[in-house]
Amino acid sequence: MEPLSFQEYICSLDPATLPRILRICSGVYFQGSVYEISGNECCLSTGDLLKVMAVVLQKVVCEDTETGQTTELPPTFKGEWGCPAPARSPWVPSSPGRPSQPPWAQPHCPTGLFQPAPARGPYQTLQGHVPEGGRQQGLTLHQALGQWDGRLQPLLCPAVGPHALLLRPVYEVHAAMHLRRDVVKIPSTLEVDVEDVTEEAQHIHFARPLLLSEVLGMEDVLPAQAEILEGPAGAAVFKSTWVLRLQRGQQLQLHSCSRTWRVLASAPSSGRHFLLSSTYQGRFRLRPRQFTGVQELAASLQPGQQLRVVVTRDCEGRGDDVPPLGVGDRLEPQRLQGNGPSTRLLCHRHGEEEEEGRELLLPLDLGGGFVEEMCDSKKYGLAELLERQVLPCEVRVVASDPGLERDALGALPALRLEARLNQPFLVGSFCQEPEEGFEIPPRWLDFSLLLSEGPVRPPVPCTRWSRVEELTEAFYYQLLAQLPGSTAPPPPRPPKPTQAGTGPGGRRPSAPGPSAPGPLPVSIRPAPPLPPLPASPRLSTPRQHGRRGPPRDAGTDSNSTEHDYETVDDNIQKTICKMKAIFPF
């Protein structure tokens, strides 16, 4: 067929013949167009193919043939039935064949319907099939539009105006395009030329990109081969090397959905964070928990579980009600008593072999140090450990996973298991290395891809590398905050940047006085970090020891703000004295 304007083609399109495939003959590009703001497509390139799926009437623009004024009618326009005729100019018939009264002035006429208007100028009267009784009672808006034959036809509608009208419908076309995820919405008034290529383009497949998270609900298409269209966006999740290879153009094999669960863990000593798979084959041993106060003891009580602790730091008493606690005392927290500020933790203090125990009521704000007393030396697997122990708990890896060449958990002195996660994963591998697999969390690591056509039967890869995944610090705190009932601590504050002219601690050095223009004397320059122990400084007063900057002149005011002083803490004084006693010089 010959190319037509998009408006002409859509107006003459029979909805019963959908879908239709169109080729763009002359493209268009509107930068910053209103169509982009309203969610419609406004950029079509020459040669693009459209698969028209549906056509929706948006509005009808009525143009008065005499005045040129336009009126917009909604698709639901029905007008009024039997309404009085509006005030119009006198009707002057121009030929004997015309009625003595205009159609809109006839009593009880269907003023919301359209009737053919006499031909005037270049326009022709309404042609084609007219419904039975349509010439006597008129046509509805949709019936009038259904008579479209590619030419503008004047119509009369008393509810709109006294003169003949030209109807210009505006449609919203819903179409599919190659490599577009969503249905494209195009206004029919877009100034492009199209041609219908439905017959010769039956074999063309309009590929629709998918998000990896959408593949989770499409297990029937797995296994499949896919190509990454856009890599993951946002902050990194894992520190693994395979994550860096998820880039545009990479070919993937998607095998199946993983049914394994995960455990969030962290290493307090190193600040590293991990995600352990339920397939991890290492062995754990429980570590005694440590508590820094009675409040933590009360929070760790679990129904049906016995807890015994040993005092690791002396704690002063509070009169006769709260006796002092000494290092080595053995306590057994039992339950809480009281309400509000008077709540106490009932503990049983075990005595020596010849002494009897004693019941203690400890206030929740009482400090101290406690360590859990336990004699369990059994080695547990991950699943067995979670059945026995309530999370969070502290463990130590006593046997590394034999399937891993380098188990990062084996070298850690302690590991804190924080929560169990039931997050869906997809098993994937790179086409270049089909035997080495990994497990991707689509809800955390989402990206767009294009599935290939045809069945794929790749070999099932080994996913041993996904048994232990190290998390980035930013994602760890984000994940910790999403846990139900989580009181996640804020991430550590980064160090302040050192500005020009400031010292390492962010303090601007004091300006030297007029009488001290030269460099600082060697005796008062900042000493380097202590290797084992620096030369013993001469102690006089704390203010002299903490002085920074050049010495003051004799004539300088003692309250001058040009100098900065620090007061040395008493503990530092005691530490220095002890070091002098141990290392005499």
Alpha carbon distance 503, 56 (integer Å): 69
Evaluated on CA atoms 146, 151, 157, 160, the torsion sign reads positive
Is the residue at 332 inside a domain?
yes
Distance CA 19, CA 436 (A): 44
Do 397 and 474 belong together in one domain? yes
Last residue of a domain, one of 372, 392, 417: 372
Judgement on whether residues 360 and 236 belong to the same structural domain of the protein:
no
Min mean pLDDT across 112-121, 189-198, 361-370 is at 112-121
Q: Are residues 168 and 264 in the same domain?
A: no
- 149 and 11 in a common domain: yes
pLDDT at 331 over 90: yes
Q: DSSP state, 9?
A: H
The mean pLDDT of the chain is 78
* 10-23 pLDDT tens trace: 998 998 999 999 99
Task: Answer yes or no: do 408 and 312 share one domain.
Answer: no
Residue 497 in domain = no
Q: Which of 437, 465, 482 is the endpoint of a domain? A: 482
Task: Kindly state whether residue 44 falls inside one of the protein's structural domains.
Answer: yes
Q: Are 417 and 265 in contact (CB under 8 A)?
A: yes
Q: Do residues 255 and 460 touch, judged by C-beta distance below 8 A?
A: yes
**Could you tell me if 384 and 464 lie in one domain?**
yes
Return the CATH number at 362.
2.30.30
Looking at the structure, tell me whether residues 467 and 397 fall in a common domain. Answer: yes
Domain span at residue 359 reads 288-372
Q: Is pLDDT above 60 for 574?
A: yes
For range 400-407, the mean pLDDT:
92
Share of the chain above pLDDT 90, in %: 37
User: Domain check: are 293 and 355 in the same one?
Assistant: yes
Top-confidence range, 149-158, 314-323, 372-381, 443-452 = 443-452
Residues 292 and 439 in one domain: no
Instruction: List the beta bridge partners of residue 114.
Output: 139
d(CA 332, CA 311): 11
Is residue 347 within 8 Å of residue 368, measured between CB atoms? no
Residue 496: is its pLDDT beyond 60?
A: yes
* 368 assigned to some structural domain: yes
What's the domain count of the chain?
3
Residue 39 burial class via C-beta count within 10 angstroms: exposed 0-12, middle 13-18, buried 19 and up: exposed
Q: What is the C-alpha to C-alpha distance for residues 298 and 184, in angstroms, rounded to an integer?
A: 60
21 within a domain of the structure (yes/no): yes
Domain boundary among 372, 387, 415: 372
Q: Is the pLDDT of residue 507 over 80?
A: no
pLDDT band at 150 (very low <50, low <70, confident <90, very high): low
Residues of 274-306 as b/e, b for ≥16 C-beta within 10 angstroms?
bbbbbbbbbbbebbebebebbbebbebeeeeee
Beta carbons of 51 and 33 less than 8 angstroms apart: no
Kindly tell me if the per-residue pLDDT of 328 is higher than 60: yes
Position 303 scores a pLDDT of 83
- Pick the more confident residue, 133 or 491: 491
Query: How much is the pLDDT for 142?
Result: 85
Distance CA 578, CA 582 (A): 6
Identify which has the larger pLDDT, 142 or 569.
142
Cα gap 185→480, rounded to integer Å: 41
Same domain, 317 and 460: no
Mind listing the pLDDT tens digit for each residue in 193-232?
A: 999 999 999 888 888 899 999 999 888 889 999 999 999 9
Q: Is residue 566 part of a domain?
A: no
Which pLDDT does position 497 carry in this prediction?
62
Domain assignment of residue 184, yes or no:
yes
- pLDDT (tens digit per residue) in 422-436: 999 999 999 999 889
For residues 425 and 387, membership in a common domain is answered with: yes
For residues 465 and 409, state if they share a domain.
yes
- Domain assignment present for 365: yes
